[in-house]
Structures are given as C-alpha cells and as structure tokens.
Amino acid sequence: MHDILTSCEHCAHRFEVPRAAAGSLQNCPSCGKATRVPGESDPAWVPFQLIVAALCVAAGVVASLGSGPVAGFAVGGGLLAAALLLRAAL
C-alpha cells in the first residue's frame, strides 16, 4: 500500500498521507489547517462516463433524424447537461 502525495490547499506544502485517508480532510503538517486529500477515483468511472456521453450523443442523433437538428441538439445537450449535473451532485 503506497501513500498518497498531496499538497495543502492553504499553504501549498506537500506531504504524504496513508492510502486509507483518500478523499478525507487531513490537517496539514505545516500550517495545521484541514485540507482535502484527493480521493481515489474508481477505475470503473472512466469507461462508465464515456458510455453515458456516447448514449447522450446517440440519443441526440436519433432525435435529429426524427425531428430535425434543433431537437437533436436539445435532446443530446439536455441529457449531457443532466449527466454533468448528476456527476457534480455526487
């Protein structure tokens, strides 16, 4: 298990934390303030995000074939925006 190298968001000091601290707040050894340690993103996330984006584009294409390019952009863009909003909420 390797440690995570992180840097303080207040004073830019770089320090290591154990992997178990991924995604947590830890006090910086230099300035003492709580700073967020990056979370390990799940390896399944990247392909999942690509599939969602591809589905949005596909829905847009289908809608544009049925009701014209404006509807296509509206459907594809709307779904993509919804997915991004959901991602931000998570």
Residues forming the site for another protein (CB under 8 A): 10, 20-27, 32-34, 36, 39-40, 42, 89-90
Q: Is-contact 18 1, C-beta < 8 A?
A: yes
* DSSP type of residue 19: G
Beta strands in 1-90 (DSSP E): 4-7, 14-17, 25-27, 34-36
Stretch that binds Zn ion, among 22-30, 42-50, 60-68, 81-89 (CB under 5 A): 22-30
1 interface partner picked from another protein, Zn ion, none, CB below 5 to 8 A per type: none
- Using CB under 5 A, pick the residue from 5, 13, 36, 49 that binds Zn ion: 13
Q: Is-contact 35 23, C-beta < 8 A?
A: no
30 interface partner picked from another protein, Zn ion, none, CB below 5 to 8 A per type: Zn ion
